[in-house]
Amino acid sequence: MANSIKTVLLLGALTGLLMFIGGAIGGRGGIYIAFIFAVIMNFGSYWFSDKIVLRMYKAQEVSESSAPGLYDIVRNLAQKAGLPMPRVFVIPEETPNAFATGRNEKHAVVAVTEGIMRILNKEELEGVIAHELSHIKHKDMLIGSIAATIAGAISMLASMAQWAAIFGGGSSSSDDDDHGGIIGLIAMAIIAPIAATVIQMTISRSREYLADAGAAAITKNPYGLAAALEKLTRASQVVPMDAKPSTAHMFIVNPLSGKAFMNLFSTHPPLEERIARLRSMKPY
């Protein structure tokens, strides 16, 4: 509940930042223009996310006959979560990881790597699959797309501010007010995208905590996912994944965690914190 409220507040903060930046730069018209462009840019990635990402990682769809164990786990947990059966894919990758995608519950996909099926036992794999199903149930793909759209609009407005400062600086008088306005525009162009990114990443981290808690509720066992995360932490360091930064937020364990320079800009919370929270829960 706390993470759900946090998400609403953060989306509100992101929207407020958009309104403030837009009003300062281009007024209401500037907001509309930037928002429309951001919607167009993000609509495709949201609507066709399953096809884009699955093709990117060469994922292959499996059936009950070709992968009975995995298929059975997904089906049982989807029933417990009250979800339609998602399509199941396997990624030909040794790094253990998993993700969920799709624009809604009826078009959802759960994908796991070959590596994750090799190192996890059934209880641990159930925790991972339940985490991904929790993302689907909580509509995290939609929430992430909304956050990306607003953040994208803010970045566009910041770019407008940068150009306004350049061209305004060349044609305006040199009194203190003009210099103050130019400096303000430059500061806005630098600070606004950073602030938007920090809020967007905070939303992503809060959804990971929510998905962990959701997985514990679906399986009635928080320790399975905790044990899985412990194994994934060690294995991902030994066998790093060649993942794209644009899709890193989708995986249960950040495939770029070794390259992250600040937790503030990370899509995932620290694994140690996630594991500690799960270990502190009581079995249902």
Active-site residue list: 132
Q: Which residues lie closer than 8 Å to 133 by C-beta, 6 or more apart?
A: 74, 77, 78, 81, 83, 86, 100, 110, 214, 215, 218
Q: Rounded to whole angstroms, how far apart are CA atoms 2 and 7?
A: 9
Work out the number of other CB atoms within 10 angstroms of the CB of residue 58.
10
Answer whether 100's CB lies under 8 Å from 108's CB. yes
Dihedral (C-alpha) 26, 32, 34, 40: value to the nearest 10 degrees? -170
Cβ-in-10-Å burial (0-12, 13-18, 19+) of 213 comes to: buried
